[in-house]
Amino acid sequence: MAHPVTTKSIPAPDRTQVGLALGRLARRPESGSFLGMLAVLLFFGVFGGGNFLSAAGTASWLNIASEIGIIALPIGLLMIAGELDISVGAVIPAASLTAAIVSGHYGLPDWLGIAAALGLGLAVGLINGLFVTKTTIPSLIITIGTMFGTMGLTLGLTVKIAGSTGVSLVPDPFIKAILGDYLGGMFQVTILWWVVFVIGLFWLLHVSPIGNWIYALGGDKESARNVGIPTKRLTIGLFMLSGFSAAFVGVSEVMVYQSAQVLAGQSFIFNSIMCVVIGGVLLTGGFGSIVGIVFGTLTFSIVNQGIYFTSLDPNVGSVIIGALLLIAVLTNDTFRQLALNYSSKSGGQS
């Protein structure tokens, strides 16, 4: 990942300069999650047999990672800004079904179904954002509310319109190729979309000035407003981004599996939050990075899938994920303390 600090070349690698560069590296939010990712990759590389790192094995966890990853990124931005979004778990199936009903059940053009699904995601995000900015209710509660609302409407309307809780859709070849295909027969094209999201949001958070506003919003909302940051517009925008991303995943799922189910996507709620926290984002806001979220997502997916390649009982996989989360938070706290105590005078000695 290119970043202004880490890519700085070290002209003469004498000890202090290497130490300084390592010191700086260790203080970045993603350092802990990078080490975590290396650890689980090594673990499953060794204990998962040759299959885990084969193309098919890699595809199995990359496919999972790409779908969670697209949602984890905006969830991470929201968390950096001090908010949570639970409603993504309901937006994914709602978007899938919207696309399936519009284009499959009614037979309208695919692009119309996709637009309706993405529009639905944006609308849920807008509602979340408006409630969060107009009331003092915590976003956790508001988005739990909108999650249940979206879920209920999805179920009710789907049964009413289609007469069942599942709707199928056969996309035309072009749409299938760009949204629902497998590269080389195993890698979901969603992985490429994930890369697009990563680049776009990396730009937003780390390169454009808006990134600074997001950090400020999560650091101290009151001060952020006082310095003239449009905090309400920014909050609403971030919620719409997460609604959009969830809807995007919903759309790509319906294109991959060619059918949509009412009860899908619940697992994304906690999984995306876990990816973000493992990736070094501070749950209470103000700290984190896109690269960290990517590492966190990969770590989570490797453990999630890697367990099937080992001789371990897959049922204990959750134990490992739970332990991983706790270890990750502890490590990230340590790295954050390092970052806080960092000064270039004492930094060279590390």
Partner 1 sequence: MNDKPAILELRNVNKSFGPIDVLHDISLRVRVGEVLCLLGDNGAGKSTLIKTLAGVHKPTSGQILMDDEPVTFTGPSDAQGRGIATVHQFGGTFPLMSIGRSFFVGVEPTKGWGPFKIYDRKRANEIAVKAVRDFGITRIDDGDRLVGGLSGGERQSLAIARAVYFGARVLILDEPTAALGVKQASHVLRIVNEAKKRGLAVIFITHQVMHAMAVGDHFAVLIRGAIAADFRRGEKSREEITDLMAGGETMADLEAQVEGYLETHEGHPPSLQVLEGPTAH
Instruction: Kindly list the residues in this chain that would bind partner 1 in the complex (CB under 8 A).
Output: 4-5, 24, 207-209, 211-213, 215-216, 219-220, 223-224, 226-229, 282, 286-287, 336, 339-345
Nearer to partner 1, 257 or 342 (CB): 342
The H or E element that residue 188 is part of is: strand 187-188
Sequence-separated contacts (24+) of 143-149 with Cβ below 8 Å: 143/84, 143/85, 143/86, 143/87, 144/86, 144/87, 146/87, 146/90, 147/86, 147/87, 147/89, 147/90, 147/269, 148/90, 149/90
Distance, in Å, from the CA atom of 265 to the CA atom of 205, rounded to the nearest integer, reads 26
* Smallest distance from partner 1 to CB 213, Å: 7
* Smallest distance from partner 1 to CB 26, Å: 13
Does residue 261 sit in helix, strand or coil?
strand
The H or E element that residue 340 is part of is: helix 317-341
* Smallest distance from partner 1 to CB 5, Å: 7
Nearer to partner 1, 232 or 336 (CB): 336
* CA-closest candidate to residue 136, choices 195, 29, 221: 221
Cβ(258)–Cβ(170) below 8 Å: yes
Distance, in Å, from the CA atom of 340 to the CA atom of 206, rounded to the nearest integer, reads 19
Distance, in Å, from the CA atom of 319 to the CA atom of 313, rounded to the nearest integer, reads 11
* Smallest distance from partner 1 to CB 163, Å: 46
Nearer to partner 1, 226 or 334 (CB): 226
* Smallest distance from partner 1 to CB 279, Å: 15
Distance, in Å, from the CA atom of 86 to the CA atom of 257, rounded to the nearest integer, reads 24
Nearer to partner 1, 181 or 220 (CB): 220
Nearer to partner 1, 157 or 339 (CB): 339
Nearer to partner 1, 169 or 214 (CB): 214
Cβ(290)–Cβ(196) below 8 Å: no
* Smallest distance from partner 1 to CB 33, Å: 16
Nearer to partner 1, 4 or 185 (CB): 4
* Smallest distance from partner 1 to CB 282, Å: 7
The residue written with tokens 């890697």 in the block is 306
User: Any idea of the CA torsion for 92, 293, 219, 347, to the nearest 10 degrees?
Assistant: 180
Assigned token pair, 44:
């499953």
Distance, in Å, from the CA atom of 100 to the CA atom of 92, rounded to the nearest integer, reads 12
Nearer to partner 1, 113 or 279 (CB): 279
* Smallest distance from partner 1 to CB 4, Å: 6
The residue written with tokens 């027969």 in the block is 185
